[in-house]
Structure 1
Amino acid sequence: MSPIRDMLSETGITEQQWRTLRVLGEFGRMDTKTLADRSSLLFPSMTRIVATMLKKGLVTQTQGTDDRRRRYVEITSHGQRIIDDYAPQAASIAESYKRVLGEQDYETLLDLLTKLDPGAQT
């Protein structure tokens, strides 16, 4: 995680915020519970993370129309710009892991990590 942490130190966001932005960038607007599951974060943590990200202008949050208790989160252009600006560097870091592990071991690692995260299997 050290290379990722070094990269993120330039952005002013945390690893959890990066994961949240990546999920929102890939899947679009979603409710907070689904976002927590897809980001592999606990729901109470996601609530705090979203509050911080709202203050930074990285996401917006709206209330559900059918269920007013449900909150939906969406990435802002500022948040998307961070993902776009740092995606090549993140991809380069992932490629370096592949070089060290080899393609097969890298894929095995991803499969094993997915097994540890029940939310990722849905």
Structure 2
Amino acid sequence: MSRTRPSLTLTLLQAREAAMAFFRPALNEHGLTEQQWRVIRILNQHKEVEVYRLAELACILKPSMTGVLNRMIRDGYVIKRKSDTDQRRVHVRLTEKGENAFAAMKEDMERNYQRIQDQFGKDKMQELLQLLNEFKKINP
């Protein structure tokens, strides 16, 4: 009888859920979804990003990104602007409220990263991140 191979995709999803258990309480406390936090974090880092690139960086499907951004615009976290050179391209950046949301959550998020590292170990955390970054580079 052949044994079934362990599921890489299921294990990755389960690991993601284990990690998110540390962060969800802070997100809920600040009234943000996981997707909104990813957008805020990316825009804080990159300042302004085209919508299609933001969707890629945040791992949000483009049709879903439209809804996420519309809610974030409505709530005052981000603004969109058309490209100066190509009106079909739309750029997104944080508003002052979005920048303040990042600043308010930064310490909570860092504390949670530290809690994970304290339990998992600094060397193992660095190794895991290195392996995952290498894995992202393989071609299907």
Same fold (TM over 0.5): yes
Cα displacement (A) at 1:116: 5.5
Using CA pairs under 8 Å that are at least 6 residues apart, name the structure with larger relative contact order, 1 or 2.
Answer: 1
Aligned residues with identical type, % of pairs: 29
Mapping of residues 1-122 of structure 1, within 5 Å = 1-115=20-134, 117=136
| One-letter code aligned to 1:69 | R
TM-score (norm 1): 0.88
Q: Deviations over 1:56-80 (max 9, x none)?
A: 0000001112211111000011011
Question: In the aligned structure 2, how far is the partner of 1:87 from the partner of 1:68?
Answer: 34
Decide whether aligned partners of structure 1 residues 114 and 97 sit closer, same or farther in structure 2, where only a CA change above 3 A counts. same
CA contact (8 A) 1:22 1:83 kept: yes
Cα displacement (A) at 1:117: 4.6
Q: Which has the larger radius of gyration?
A: 2
TM-score (norm 2): 0.78
Q: Structure 1 stretches of 5 or more lacking a match? A: none
- Which ranges of 4 or more aligned residues in structure 1 deviate by more than 4 Å? 115-118
